[in-house]
Structures are given as structure tokens and as C-alpha cells.
Amino acid sequence: NLGGIIIIDFIDMNNEDHRRRVLHSLEQALSKDRVKTSVNGFSALGLVEMTRKRTRESIEHVLCNECPTCHGRGTVKTVETVCYEIMREIVRVHHAYDSDRFLVYASPAVAEALKGEESHSLAEVEIFVGKQVKVQIEPLYNQEQFDVVMM
């Protein structure tokens, strides 16, 4: 299921007669292909460029699933980014609803950061909202998952 632009390397083939015969053989073989193909001649570097219409999904798409953590983006948010998202969510919820305190469920890495290197920032949020914020590790959460619960 090759499709798209295909480059074939005949870089050491210098004989013009050999090149013509190779192109003829290639075009003959491709004439039996049900899929639309186009063969361009040899380049100055001895490369043959051809195009072939893709007919099926890529092999990667057939054999692989989308990453459940990044949803196909290829990256996940940093622990620090998620910590600040949590703090913004606490402030947002505080303005929208009344509660006595907050409980945050987060992945182990994020929860540890909120209790460690981000504890000073979280303390500032507690002062700003005038409410206590407890952090609890949720071992099954991925790095980007969290819940802010009003208590």
C-alpha cells in the first residue's frame, strides 16, 4: 500500500540505455496497477520520482491507536502547567460558587509538585480565595487529569 511520492535510487546507473530499459520496465509493471500512478524520468542524481495514489489508510493508522494521554498531539502538558491550571480553576470555581474548602485530585507527579515546589503558589491561592486547599493523589490519573472538588 505505497502511496504518495516515491523516490527510487539508481544513483550509480550512468548508462543511458540501462536507464531507458529500467523506466520502460517500471512503466510496464505499473500499467497493471489499478491505482493511478505517474513515473517521471531520471533526475541528474540518478533518482526516479513517481507518484501513486493512496488507496487505504496508512499502516500506522491500521496498527496503532491514538495515545490516550495526549490524544494524538505527541506531547503532554508539563507538571508545572497542570499545577497552574489547577490553581486557575480553584480561583474560577471560588468566584462562581460558595464552598468551605477545596479538594484537588491529581496525578502523582502533579500532586507531589503541588505539595512540594508549587506549595508556595498554592498557599498564595489559599490566601486569595480564603479557603483551605487539600491535595490528594489519584494514582490512575494521567499527568493532565485533575478534579477540583468543593467541600
Report residue 129's pLDDT band, with 50, 70 and 90 as the boundaries.
very high
The fourth-level CATH superfamily of domain 79-150 is Ribonuclease E, catalytic domain (3.40.1260.20)
pTM above 0.85, yes or no: no
Q: Is the Cβ–Cβ distance between 6 and 48 less than 8 Å?
A: no
Nearest to 20 by CA among 10, 6, 30, 33: 10
Distances (CA, A) of 145 to 67, 87, 148: 14, 14, 10
The predicted-structure confidence for 25-78, as pLDDT tens digits, reads as follows 999 988 888 888 889 889 888 899 999 887 777 777 778 888 888 888 889 999
The predicted-structure confidence for 83-125, as pLDDT tens digits, reads as follows 999 999 999 999 999 899 999 999 999 999 999 999 999 999 9
Report residue 1's pLDDT band, with 50, 70 and 90 as the boundaries.
low
Average pLDDT over residues 120-133: 98
What residues does each domain of the chain span? 4-63, 79-150
Cell, residue 146 = 485533575
